[in-house]
Amino acid sequence: MASFSPLFLSFFVSMLLCLEARTLPISSLVSKDLFDSMFLHKDDNACPARNFYTYDIFLKATRCFPQFGNTGSLTVRKREIAAFLAQISHETTGGWATAPDGPFAWGLCFKEEVSPQSDYCDSTNKEWPCHPGKSYKGRGPMQLSWNYNYGAAGKALGFDGLKNPEIVANNSLIAFKTALWFWMTEQKPKPSCHNVMVGKYRPTEADIAANRTAGYGLVTNIINGGLECGIANHGGVNDRIGYFQRYATLFNVDTGPNLDCENQKSF
């Protein structure tokens, strides 16, 4: 009787999930023209991720996550997509204050972290042990970081995140999948970004005490609250908000309340 490795089985399950969700109608909400109008400069010669983050690959990746952009009213669906695209735009931005077309037209310019300050190895995490010589720096649209995120994402999506973290910067489909995986996956005590944006977040007592209120600001807290939240007028938070406001306008939806996390404690 043939035996299969856990990695193969994980990959097989991942492929079945993508096939099952093949009819996900994200393209009815995000046309190629809309996508291109959001990311005006992602394929400029100045952007290291030139031609890496394509519209077709984005659509293909979303098929593996059937609830993404497909939960709630039309407004909620559009707002969630706008929020996701805004967050990955900040994570990969090549913009600056006086950039052509404004600072919020430069999302998806980078595919990996430039000049990382460490190898992002949490040696205390025994579930996802670091592989010798590997860096778990930020890669992909969400700038996936740390060994425990690479390991968990790889297990869910069918690649070896610990031994081959570089694949997130070398394979655009896997890159987009890791961003969507992070967005859709609850990592307690953090809720998923998806549940926050579609109204399924229910604050715990600890959340209430920390003033973690539903809204786009809480998504920022989930992604990078330790460095950006609880700080007045933080530049990174403002950049995330700027992208969200621009994209919400392009989607013709409002942003909803609680855009920042200035008064929230991080998780």
**pTM of the predicted model over 0.75:** yes
What integer pLDDT is reported at residue 19 of this predicted model? 52
What integer pLDDT is reported at residue 8 of this predicted model? 47
Residues whose CB falls within 8 Å of the CB of residue 92, separated by 6 or more in sequence, listed in order: 49, 53, 107, 108, 109, 110, 111, 141, 143
19-57 pLDDT, tens digit each: 544 444 799 999 999 999 999 999 999 999 999 999 999
Domains assigned to the chain: 6-251 (1.10.530.10)
Q: Can you tell me the distance from the alpha carbon of 251 to that of 75, in angstroms, rounded to the nearest whole number?
A: 9
Residue 193's closest CA among 206, 179, 208? Answer: 179
89-139 pLDDT, tens digit each: 999 999 999 999 999 999 999 999 999 999 999 999 999 999 999 999 999
* Cα atoms in the 13 Å half-sphere on the side-chain side of 133: 2
What integer pLDDT is reported at residue 5 of this predicted model? 52
Q: Which two tokens stand for residue 131?
A: 């592989």
What integer pLDDT is reported at residue 23 of this predicted model? 47
Active-site residue identified among 20, 80, 91, 166: 91
112 counts as catalytic: no
Residue 237, CA distances (Å) to 3, 14, 105, 225 in order: 48, 33, 17, 9
Average pLDDT over residues 164-192: 98
Q: What are the DSSP calls for 231-262, one per residue? A: STT-HHHHHHHHHHHHHHHHHT----S----T
